[in-house]
Amino acid sequence: MGGQGSKIGTCCWDPSRNTTLPPEAPHVVTENEENCEETHLLSFREYPLEQLKIATSGFALENVVSGDGDTPPNLVYKGKLENHQKIAIKRFSRFSWPDPRQFLEEARSIGHLRSNRMATLLGCCSEGGERLLVAEFMPNETLAKHLFHWETQPMRWEMRVRVVLHLAEALEYCCNRGRTLYHDLNAYRVLFDEECNPRLSTFGLMKNSMDGNSYSTHLAFAPPEYLRTGRITAESVIYSFGILLLDIFAGKHIPPSHALDLIRDRNLQKLADSCLKGQLSDSDGAELVRMASRCLQYEARGRPNIKYLITALTALQKDKDAEVPSHVLMGRGDFVSPLSPFGEACMRKDLNTMLEMLDKIGYKDDESVSFRWTGQMQEAVEWKKKGDVAFRQKDLKEAIEFYTQFLDLGMISATVFVRRSLSSLMMGNMAKEALEDAMKAQGISPVWYAALYLQSAALDALGMEKESKMALMEGSDLEARKISASTH
């Protein structure tokens, strides 16, 4: 995908600069890349503010997924739309873009970009004092998470090379379409999709403010020209890319000045990530470091162009690794966490076993059982008891009826919604109602894994296989975290 757009003139990182280039790999523009901009042009839309509030539970703190350097209100939230599509929402300060028309124009220009190397920008919202961007949600964390804060295994060298190569291709795609600047490029802006493929966040193409002062990272990592002028240039992006190359090699985020001292002293062993021992040759490591040091030249004109970087990184990628799926290189099977018995039952669509497990769990995992102290409280309690008995005896129609009576009296219980959801599923023709109840349960108790398992089962019954799998993965991950927290 290295040249997806090479037909539109030269890259804006001038290849005529005095740089010795290795032979360039042939650029291939796929049919999908050729047509995708026109195909998706109309898919960019303006979202009503109320819809995004509902999707994020009112921009709740538990839905914040921003990385290092992001401060309120410039945060990123995860959310879920009514059609169950997961989204990421970047929220800007109301003072950053006072003119809603300028914000909308800038967002639309970014929304026209479509590449499988980037997270797609789906739309925006410019309503009242709010300025929001909406993108597709990437479920497998950030490069920073996998590189600096890994829990089970470090990222393999082959995957690290793939990450920076795909990132370089994303930047070339952007510059070939007139987007020369990427604001605050760092390891938190590189995301992984459901198949663990690296994707560049489109949020970084949008300035944090209309005046362009949008470099929020620590000053020790800022390009020299930004420190002098407060502005970034196309060459500043190459400087930040060089820092990412160092991150990939070192496995940690260290100031470029310190890294350059180690490079000048030829102390690459001290700079290299010890987890990479035995995975790469000395020559490959030296080549990556050489690329990084050239990107980090103090004078912007001394830095290489993006085409050079793509060609050099392509040479580092071994032919045998190019065909290996990303999720394999990341050491992941179908699921982020090993499935528990509950998750296994969900995957097998074994609703009877799920019912028995929910009965054993009882109400202890329900974080919000709210009984409103009214004259109807005793009546509500009786309906719940009857529902529980019917649920246990698999008298599903009566369980649904009794639980409905309980909820209609104004009672709130995630467990009741989950049990009614499973009862609807077992009835065989109420998958939509089951999904709605599971969604309501998650809204009450966002970290309760049972609500995600029920969503997975309902989505599968509705023929939404991909969404079902993602809900199962998320439920499994939540359950694993709960188990881990309880043992520490």
Residue 52 — very low, low, confident or very high, per pLDDT cuts 50/70/90?
Answer: very high
Instruction: State the average pLDDT over residues 180-198.
Output: 91
CATH number at residue 362: 1.25.40.10
- What pLDDT does 213 receive? 58
Instruction: State the average pLDDT over residues 322-346.
Output: 76
Question: What is the Cα 10 distance to its own chain's centre?
Answer: 31
Q: Is residue 395 part of a domain?
A: yes
Q: Is residue 456 part of a domain?
A: yes
Pairing verdict, β 369-370 and 412-413: antiparallel
Q: Is the pLDDT of residue 374 over 60?
A: no
Residue 487 — very low, low, confident or very high, per pLDDT cuts 50/70/90?
Answer: low
Residue 338 — very low, low, confident or very high, per pLDDT cuts 50/70/90?
Answer: low
Q: What residues contact residue 5 under an 8 Å CB cut-off, 6+ apart?
A: 29, 33, 172, 173, 176, 177
Structure-token pair, residue 368: 């919000």
Last residue of a domain, one of 102, 136, 170: 136
Q: Is residue 254 part of a domain?
A: no
Domain region containing 458: 341-486
Residue 41 — very low, low, confident or very high, per pLDDT cuts 50/70/90?
Answer: very low
Q: Is residue 64 part of a domain?
A: yes
Residue of higher predicted confidence among 479 and 419: 419
Residues forming a β-bridge with 369: 413
Count of domains observed in the chain: 2
Marked catalytic residue, from 14, 70, 99, 184: 184
Residue of higher predicted confidence among 60 and 26: 60
**What integer best gives the mean pLDDT of the chain?**
83
Last residue of a domain, one of 136, 157, 189: 136
Q: Is residue 189 part of a domain?
A: no
Q: Is residue 350 part of a domain?
A: yes
Q: What residues contact residue 407 under an 8 Å CB cut-off, 6+ apart?
A: 413, 416, 417, 420
- What pLDDT does 217 receive? 58
Least confident range from 372-381, 451-460, 472-481: namely 372-381
Q: Is the pLDDT of residue 156 over 90?
A: yes
Q: Is residue 202 part of a domain?
A: no
What count of other Cβ atoms lies within 10 Å of the Cβ of residue 29? 15
Percent residues over pLDDT 90 in the chain:
45
- What pLDDT does 212 receive? 61
Whole-prediction pTM: 0.65
**Any idea of the CA torsion for 248, 250, 251, 254, to the nearest 10 degrees?**
-100
Residue of higher predicted confidence among 124 and 319: 124
Q: Is residue 419 part of a domain?
A: yes
Last residue of a domain, one of 136, 171, 197: 136
For the chain, what is the total number of helices (H) and then of strands (E)? 21, 9
Q: What is the pLDDT of residues 220-230, one digit of tens each?
A: 788 999 888 88
Instruction: State the average pLDDT over residues 265-285.
Output: 88
Q: How would you classify residue 383: left for phi > 0, otherwise alpha for psi between -120 and 50, otherwise beta?
A: alpha
Residue 484 — very low, low, confident or very high, per pLDDT cuts 50/70/90?
Answer: low
Percent residues over pLDDT 70 in the chain:
84
Active site residue 184: yes
* Structure-token match 């539970």, residue found: 57
Q: What is the pLDDT of residues 65-88, one digit of tens each?
A: 987 656 677 789 999 998 888 999
Question: What is the Cα 388 distance to its own chain's centre?
Answer: 39
Least confident range from 16-25, 191-200, 411-420, 448-457: namely 16-25
Instruction: State the average pLDDT over residues 274-280.
Output: 91
Instruction: State the average pLDDT over residues 200-211.
Output: 85
